[in-house]
Structure 1
Amino acid sequence: MKTPLVLVLAAALAASPVAAADGPPKASAAATLPAEATKRATVVTHDDTLAYVVRVEAVPLSNPKGEKQAEVVVTSYTLERTDPKDRPVTYLFNGGPGAASAYLQFGGVGPKRLPFGGPDNAPSDLPKLVDNPDTWLAFTDLVFVDPVGTGYSRASGDGKAFWSVEGDVESLSRVVAKHLAAREQLVSPVYLAGESYGGFRIPRIARKLQEKDGVGVAGLVALSPVLDFAIRDGENTSPLPWVTALPSLAAAARERKAPVTRADLADVESYAAGEFLADLMKGPRDAAAVGRVSARVAELTGLDPELVRRMNGRIDIRTFVREIGRPEGRVGSLYDANVTAYDPYPSAARASWDDPVLDGSMAPLTRAAVDYYGRELGFRVDNRRYELISSEVNRAWSWGRGQSLPESAGALREALAADRRLKVLVAHGATDLVTPYMESKLVLDQIPAFGDPDRVRLAVYPGGHMFYSRDASRAAFTADVRKLYGAAE
């Protein structure tokens, strides 16, 4: 029912001209990166004009023999008028696996941003960066990390050692610890933020830092994460994937008529976890249950009741985003269902299209990043390609062995239990179908209070996977993140 995030990205990459222009990069073709580059700049926020230093550099990773195994590029933004040792520092990661940090860096958190992800954006948009008045730089220094194989980061040899659930966490925790030591910020409060698979990463990185690197983490901010991949598995026998998707489907349908907040979805959440779940448990052989489910799902999603009935009330996300726009010959994005594009094959029996949000943002973001590093910062890399989303990393990723699908809810529990000061914010967009917010609600509701139930909070904003692409949602999210940092002081 639910296309796993890794497969969504892989499908988009296969069709993308940015990723397919001359084939995937060769991780073994290592080349030395330029020396670090720095620049002073300013950004105008809602309250102030901030002067800062931006620095891009490579953090080397070596084996026990001292042989370099990889170079991980990090881009840091440090406020000039404060002592870095007295200021929080936040390490930020995007997802994929195989995505560089440009989505967070130039999308909603860094001091410069590129508008993308909206209904009017297109691959041909010019990569013009503008001031981000909602930048987190107002309350924390920022370090954006490009894992091995993404951005300009590369392995010296075969990168597969880094392209697994465990290898990824091991390498990125070392990057954080090494960078903190090199910049003499080991006494600074440390925060981690991650989007999508990056949100899956950060509880595990926090636990690794606690256990092996002697670094405590003050707070975690997970944007549109998957905390437990098992929840979205087994739709042929498990009702959970259908239960967790329904509120987001209803949010998309309702938003087409009027703005929607999470409070507006309380009835759908209650139905999904109650009568809907109970009827799904009865199975397709119970005609009365199927009839009740089909009628209610058709009402909530706005889809043709006969179509919903043929599908026994179980609407997969690709069917939904195609059917809601079919009268206009358009298809929606899995990343934000109400961002649509023309269906290239509107009469085809099986849907085939590039995702309007993902495909529409890849070219502008890639151009913006290459221009920013090369022209603005003087960090020119001519011997390797900038990988916004690497198909090579994505295809080669090892998800582990054994019978259990990967999860980071356990690491989150352990990190919270180990440190009573740790605060967590999990943020989602209401109309995101790739990582529906109800999945995170299900996980977080099962975590003990550990003395204070307010230490872990779920926030839902208007918008999709990259909800911060909407101005009002970005401002509201930044305000909530600022409160988290204040609460941790």
Structure 2
Amino acid sequence: MRKLPFVVALSALLLSTVAVAAPDKKDDKAKPEQPDAALVEPQSSASEGSVSVEGHRVDYKAVAGTLVLHGTGDKEDEPQVSMFYVAYFKKGAAATKRPITFIYNGGPGSATVWLHMGAFGPKRVVTSDDSHTPAAPYGLVNNDYSLLDASDLVFIDAPGAGFSRLIAADTDKSKRDEQMKERKKATYGVDGDGHAFAQFVTRFLSKYDRWNSPKYLFGESYGTTRSAVLANILENEDSVDLNGVILLSQILSFDTSIDGPEFNPGIDLPYELALPTFAATAFYHHKLPQQPAALEPFLREVEQYALGDYAQALMAGSRLDDARKQAVAQKLHEYTGLPVAYLLKANLRVTGGMFEHELQTDGDITTGRLDSRFAGPSIDPLSKDSEYDPQSSAISSAYVAAFNDYVRRDLKFGQGRQYRLFADIDHWDFSHKAPGVHGEALQSSTNVMPDLAMAMKTNPNLKVYLHGGYYDLATPYFAADYEMHHLPIPASLEANISYAWYPSGHMVYAHETSLKLLHDNVGRFIGQTDNVK
């Protein structure tokens, strides 16, 4: 059994650098920004607006607020989490005919500022396409590709992130500290997080009378892991059938991650499944020995090699003879641009961090991880791995500044409060009890493929739509494709899954052309599955 250290596993999915969130810890210890007593009651602020989506005006009501989650069993009357959300409701639409989509980023423990301000909210922050965005002031524009034309939207911040907070209301400090430890243990983990979001969804449906609306989940990155768990909980514990689950930059099985595979020797899948993304990145930066005429036919060739000759070579392990090893290294050179000597020294196994550090100018330039179209100066040219993500550094400030201004100025919420990009998580419990498992949760690499499969089998009408970017080295698109084609579902349900790939990175929407395609694809999917006559 293997469980990656928290630092390694978390680094696979964080949407920003730790330095962005670090000040929260110091501020929290100095003085709580808001007494917990004020968190135990739901809060809200309503406003109105309009957005033009591809030439069509949508008038909406916006509500920025909190819902309070309670414990279970003998603690069902005890408030434990205050969850922040921003909901957008189209004016004049009948609730039973209007779809509603619950949207969240990943982390785990990330605020949903990225999907809100970059993808589907009515306002969008303008960032540079594949280079560092200049400092403030940042542009905030009408979002021509907001999803409000197809669905009402609910953007949810994970417990402890954004304006969401864990609640420890006891006045005695020692008891309060103990309460907070209990809250973190109960909430900061695969299963605790899934149940928190499930409780949020059902409370939201009750508060806004949306039980009979078509319902969708939209998760990005670790949000896709959450979506698999959440879909199963909603379907099989809360009797909430979903119309659709939309997955962006998916990771369901952490055994497919190209971040940290060296800590899991004997499992070579990550190297095989990341190879097409390495190839796409080398293609983009013109680092291939021979530049193909077009990207996608080239990727189909690399995919075939990855699951064929390359997989067989890695499976041979130390039995691989020198001549064959040399031949594989030569082929990898043709697909990645990395030197043959480097590939041999790496034993044909290159991690994401190694590739990001080595692709350009002998390590002087670091290639982006979340979006490998980006690049920046290396922190240490002599390092083995990349030490930061140029794409994250290029856009994070724009998203954070734009949302902090927007939520207070337009949504009239958050005055005097701190918006946390990430929750203060000391430990995330990656152990997970898959559906049908009795006893203790398995202490192994997290895999929620059984959860999504269970949701699809118990609701055979559930449709799933997977989206990914060719230049995503955080959650490579071919790994997501592999996971979906290995779900334990009958062949009759394979047709319920659809796929879309984009010439962009982890945050597909950071590339405006891809954002338009994403909007059009998701809007069409909702229209085809909402069961509205």
TM range (shorter): over 0.9
Residue 75 of structure 1: SS of its match in structure 2?
strand
Structure 1 SS opposite 2:36: coil
Mapped to 1, the partners of 2:192 and 2:28 lie a distance apart of 20
Equivalent residues, number = 484
* Aligned position for 1:68: 79
Counterparts of 2:386 and 2:296, CA distance in 1: 31
Sort the Cα spacing of 1:270 and 1:25 in 2 relative to 1 into closer, same or farther, 3 A. farther
Q: Give yes or no for the alignment of 1:271 onto 2:305.
A: yes
**Which structure 2 residues correspond to residues 220-299 of structure 1 after superposition, within 5 A?**
220-232=245-257, 233=261, 235-257=264-286, 261-286=295-320, 287-299=322-334
Does residue 1:322 correspond to 2:357, yes or no?
A: yes
Q: Match of 1:293, SS?
A: helix
For the pair 1:77 / 2:70, whether they are aligned, the reply is no
**369-378 vs 51-60, which deviates more?**
369-378
Query: What do residues 110-152 of structure 1 show as CA deviations (whole Å, max 9, x unaligned)?
Result: 1211134732333724343211111111110000111110101
Cα 1:152/1:179, change in 2 over 3 Å: same
Q: Which residue does the alignment assign to 2:61? A: 53
Contact 1:40 1:52 in 2 (8 A): yes
- Root-mean-square deviation over aligned CA pairs: 2.5
Match of 1:486?
527
Q: Secondary structure at the match of 2:59?
A: strand
- For 1:369 and 1:31, the matched residues in 2 are separated by 26
Q: Deviations over 1:420-444 (max 9, x none)?
A: 2111011111111111112122211
Q: Is residue 14–residue 106 contact of structure 2 (8 Å, CA) maintained in 1?
A: no
- Alpha-carbon shift at residue 9 of structure 1 (Å): 5.6
* Match for residue 20 of structure 1 among 8, 23, 35: 23
Report the AA paired with residue 82 of structure 2.
E
Tell me the secondary structure at the aligned position of residue 23 of structure 1: helix
Q: Which residue of 2 aligns with 1:396?
A: 427
**2:377 matched residue in structure 1:** 342
Query: Per the alignment, do residues 487 and 10 of structure 1 end up closer, same or farther by CA in structure 2, a change over 3 Å counting?
Result: closer
Where does structure 1 lack aligned partners over 5 or more consecutive residues? none
Contact 2:21 2:422 in 1 (8 A): no
Q: Which amino acid aligns with 2:527?
A: G
- DSSP-derived class of the 1:50 partner: strand
Q: Which residue of 2 aligns with 1:177?
A: 202
Cα distance 1:123–1:229, how it changes in 2: closer, same or farther (>3 A)?
Answer: farther
What is the rounded CA distance, in whole Å, between the counterparts of 1:103 and 1:295 in structure 2?
Answer: 40
Aligned-residue offset at 1:32: 2.4
> In structure 2, what is the equivalent of residue 387 of structure 1?
420
Segment drifting more, 225-234 vs 212-221? 225-234
Distance apart, 1:369 and its partner CA: 1.6
Q: Which amino acid aligns with 2:442?
A: G
Aligned mates of 1:211, 1:17 — CA distance in 2 = 38
Deviations 1:376-428 (A, max 9, x none): 1211341x4211123x22x3211125343222210111111111211101111
CA–CA distance in 2 between the matches of 1:117 and 1:175?
Answer: 35
Give the alignment's TM-score, normalised by structure 2: 0.85
CA distance in 1, matches of 2:16, 2:115: 19
Contact 2:243 2:462 in 1 (8 A): yes
Cα distance 1:187–1:21, how it changes in 2: closer, same or farther (>3 A)?
closer
Asked if the contact 2:21/2:420 (under 8 Å) is kept, the reply is: no
Instruction: State yes or no: 1:407 paired with 2:447.
Output: yes
Q: In structure 2, what residue type is equivalent to 1:466? A: M
Mapped partners of 2:191, 2:197: distance in 1: 10
Structure 2 unmatched runs, 5+ = 169-179, 287-291, 432-440
The yes-or-no answer on 1:156 pairing with 2:156 is no
Structure 1 contact 260–462 (Cα < 8 Å) conserved: no
Aligned to 2:140: 129
CA apart distance, 1:11: 11
For 1:388, give the aligned amino acid.
L
| SS of 1:314 mapped into structure 2 | coil
Q: Is the 8 A contact 1:284 1:312 kept in 2?
A: no
Q: Which amino acid aligns with 1:45?
A: V
Of residues 169-178 and 127-136 in structure 1, the stretch that sits farther from structure 2 once superposed is 127-136
- CA shift, 1:248, in A, is 0.6
2:151 corresponds to 1:140: yes
**Do 1:25 and 1:385's aligned partners in 2 also have CA atoms closer than 8 Å?**
no
Task: Tell me by how many angstroms 1:349 deviates.
Answer: 4.0
Q: Percent of pairs identical after alignment?
A: 27
Structure 2 match to 1:107: 118
Deviation at 1:331, TM superposition (A): 0.9
**2:215 corresponds to which residue?**
190
Q: Which amino acid aligns with 2:56?
A: D
Deviation at 1:304, TM superposition (A): 1.9
On the 8 A contact 2:99/2:150 being kept in 1, the answer is yes
Report the CA distance shift for 1:261/1:89 in structure 2 as closer, same or farther (over 3 A). farther
| Alpha-carbon distance in structure 1 between the residues aligned to 2:452 and 2:525 | 17
Do structure 1's residue 360 and structure 2's residue 391 form an aligned pair?
no
Q: State how far apart, in whole Å, the 1-side matches of 2:276 and 2:8 are.
A: 18
Residues 123 and 363 of structure 1 are in contact (CA less than 8 Å); yes or no, is this contact kept in structure 2?
no
Bigger mean CA offset, 245-254 vs 276-285: 276-285
Q: Would you say the 8 A contact 1:335–1:358 is kept in 2?
A: yes
> Partners of 2:232 and 2:27 in 1: how far apart?
33
- The question of whether the paired residues in 2 share the 8 Å contact of 1:293 and 1:312 is answered with no
User: Quick check: 307-316 or 25-34, which moved more?
Assistant: 25-34
Counterpart contact for 1:428–1:437, Cα < 8 Å: yes
For 1:21 and 1:182, the matched residues in 2 are separated by 31
Corresponding residue to 1:209 among 219, 234, 241: 234
TM-superposed CA distance for 1:162, in Å, is 1.0
Residues 80 and 319 of structure 1: CA distance in aligned 2, closer, same or farther (over 3 Å): same
